[in-house]
Structure 1
Amino acid sequence: MSSPPLLLVLDGNSLLHRAYHAAATGKLLDEDDRPVWALKGLVGYVARATAKLRPDAVVVGFDCSERSARQADYPPYKAHRPEKAADLSEQITAAPDLLRAAGFCTVVPPGFEADDVLASAAAAARGGGWRSVLVTSDRDAFALIDEQTSVLRVRNGGLDEAVMVTPAGLQELYGVSPALYGDLAALRGDPSDNLPGVRGFGSILASRLLGAFGSVEAAWAAGVDAVRAVVGEVAARNLVSAEARERVEVNRRLMRMRADLSLPALDSARLPLSYGTMRQALAGRGIILGPSLWALTGRTPPPEPEPEPPKYPRSLRARREPSPDQMALF
């Protein structure tokens, strides 16, 4: 029995930011002196993830840059972030059109974010009998994990150091199931989005509370004495306060990802893509990629490089003898 088809969904903004900082020292420009190093890095992430996972279809999501439903709901949301560098903003603006021209299924949801594209694509995959892998550097997507949905979290070191997080892996990392990760995040807060948590609660204490009670509501219903026995006096008092209840509600509302966005049909995102179309679109921005596009375009994978033999023998006797380089000195 064949396995279900696999959908690869990538957080374009998250990966573009990572590519921007990873290659900023090179500052690759096109022939019109426009910055392209983050764009090239983003395409490289997509190509390498595709080669690694061999999906049947690929979707790339981006944040809407014109308006934010979350900011309209809660003005402090992300309001503390400094203004982006001009060369980063230029590449963020250019990325969706470049990827569309290269043939990728690219989604920029009006008023919403790449996280919402991940959630909606995962829901569509689940409903269609597909599996999905969500590629991002953000933790928010952990709430979307289930038996059909995994998260490939990219951190320092790029895809080579990325970790595939499954339900069992999330339990090991945070001590909670995916169904409870939203409550853990609401208690902990998210400083990067300007969402403070409940005072005294980080991931460890939140995990302990949820492990004992199963939900924040159950902890509130149990009362301060029962909560005190699990998390201590100060955290218990903070948790049952009106301020904490409001904070959890606000965080849940803003962290909840939309799973009902209108997306293109999964079959429209299927691979392979046209090699010629992709090469032409990328070359128009001075981005030259060849063999690395093989998995996206259905071409033959390049041969694996031959492993390099050790420079010198490793035996104890051999280490006592002069190496060829040392002999060349005489």
Structure 2
Amino acid sequence: MSTPPLLLVLDGNSLLHRAYHAGAGEGWLDQDGRPVWALRGLVGFIARAAAYLRPDALIVGFDCPDDSARRADFPGYKAHRPAKAADLAEQLAGAPELLTAAGIRTVVPPAYEADDVLASAAAAARTAGWRSVLMTSDRDSFALIDDHTSVLRIRNGGLDEAVLVDHAGLSELCGVEPWQYRDFAALRGDPSDNLPGVRGFGEATAAKLLAAFGSMDAVWMALDGGQEHLVREVVGARATGRLLADGVRETVERNQRLMRMRADLPVPELSSTRLPLNLATFRIALRARGINLGPSLWALTGGVPPQRDPEPRDEDPIPDLRPWVFRKSMTARRDPTPGQLSLF
């Protein structure tokens, strides 16, 4: 049997933020003096991922910059985040236009986020019998993993520290199944989105509870049905008491609701997202912003891997083609610095 086609779906916001912080010291500007290092790094992420994954098709999603359905639901959602730096905001605003001009299908869903694009694109791929890899810094996408969908999580250190997480790997990393991940995250909370969890429920305690009961619905049913002792046997009296505290169930249910990703948003027909892209069109779009990439685009434009040039050149400094090894574990992950909070 032939291998099903592979769709690569990227979270444009998280990857551009990564590229912004990684390249801020370089300060690349285009011919009009506008910042481009994050845009250049984003294209580098896309090109290098394509070189190793060899997808058949590509979609990039971005957050809606104007409205937020989640913030309308809960005004505190991401409300603690500082305003973006002007040079970051400018590059983020220009990214969808640049990628579209280069021939990459991009989606900016009204009132929703790149996470929702990932979920909707993965659902479309699954329906079509395709496989998908979702490339993001955000762990929320672990809830989308199944036999057809994997997550390429980018961490500090970029692609060299990336973790490709599939169904089997998620259990090893987090102790839960993909269908349990949203309950796991809702218990633990997500400080980066200003969503506090249940006090005392870190990853280990949340995983232990879900391993025993399967879901939070089953936990609430036990607590409501006079079987509090069963919960105590799993997580102890103190943690059980915290689950019974006023407002805790509402907090968990709010987190579950806000962490649920839309899987029904309109995404491009898969046939329109297929690679290769036109090399001339791609390079013209990049050069209009002062970005000079050529050979590294080979996997996106139907070329062949370039030979290493023994003499360094100014063109194409990213992405390099050194061996890329996925780590099987995230136990050695590095915490983000305060300036990188918005990456997650």
TM over 0.5: yes
2 CA distance for matches of 1:200 and 1:3? Answer: 45
Q: What residue in structure 2 maps to residue 312 of structure 1? A: none
1:156-305 matched pairs, under 5 angstroms: 156-223=156-223, 224-303=228-307
Give deviations 1:63-107, integer Å, cap 9, x for gaps. 000100100111000000001000000000000000000000000
Q: Quick check: 1:170–1:176 contact (8 Å CA) kept in 2?
A: yes
Give deviations 1:251-310, integer Å, cap 9, x for gaps. 01100000000111001000000000000000000000011000000011113679xxxx
Q: Quick check: 1:227–1:236 contact (8 Å CA) kept in 2?
A: yes
2 CA distance for matches of 1:67 and 1:11? Answer: 18
Q: What residue in structure 2 maps to residue 20 of structure 1? A: 20
Give deviations 1:28-52, integer Å, cap 9, x for gaps. 0001110000000000000000001
Q: What residue in structure 2 maps to residue 71 of structure 1? A: 71
Give deviations 1:225-264, integer Å, cap 9, x for gaps. 2111111112101112341110111001100000000111
Aligned pairs, number: 307
2 CA distance for matches of 1:242 and 1:263? Answer: 41
Percent sequence identity over aligned pairs: 69
Instruction: Judge which range, 211-220 or 113-122, deviates more.
Output: 211-220
Give deviations 1:112-143, integer Å, cap 9, x for gaps. 00000000000000000000000001101000
- 1:222 CA drift (Å): 2.1
Q: What residue in structure 2 maps to residue 106 of structure 1? A: 106
| 4+ aligned runs moved over 3 Å, structure 1 | none
Larger radius of gyration: 1
RMSD: 1.2
1 CA distance for matches of 2:129 and 2:183? Answer: 28
The AA in structure 1 aligned to 2:201 is F
Q: What residue in structure 2 maps to residue 136 of structure 1? A: 136
Q: Quick check: 1:19–1:37 contact (8 Å CA) kept in 2?
A: yes
1 CA distance for matches of 2:222 and 2:268? Answer: 45
SS of the residue corresponding to residue 287 of structure 1 reads: coil
The AA in structure 2 aligned to 1:18 is R
The AA in structure 1 aligned to 2:249 is R
- 1:26 CA drift (Å): 0.3
SS of the residue corresponding to residue 75 of structure 1 reads: coil
Q: What residue in structure 2 maps to residue 41 of structure 1? A: 41
SS of the residue corresponding to residue 247 of structure 2 reads: helix
The AA in structure 1 aligned to 2:132 is S
SS of the residue corresponding to residue 232 of structure 1 reads: helix
Q: What residue in structure 1 maps to residue 147 of structure 2? A: 147
Gaps of 5+ in 1: 307-330
Q: Quick check: 1:220–1:240 contact (8 Å CA) kept in 2?
A: no
- 1:156 CA drift (Å): 1.5
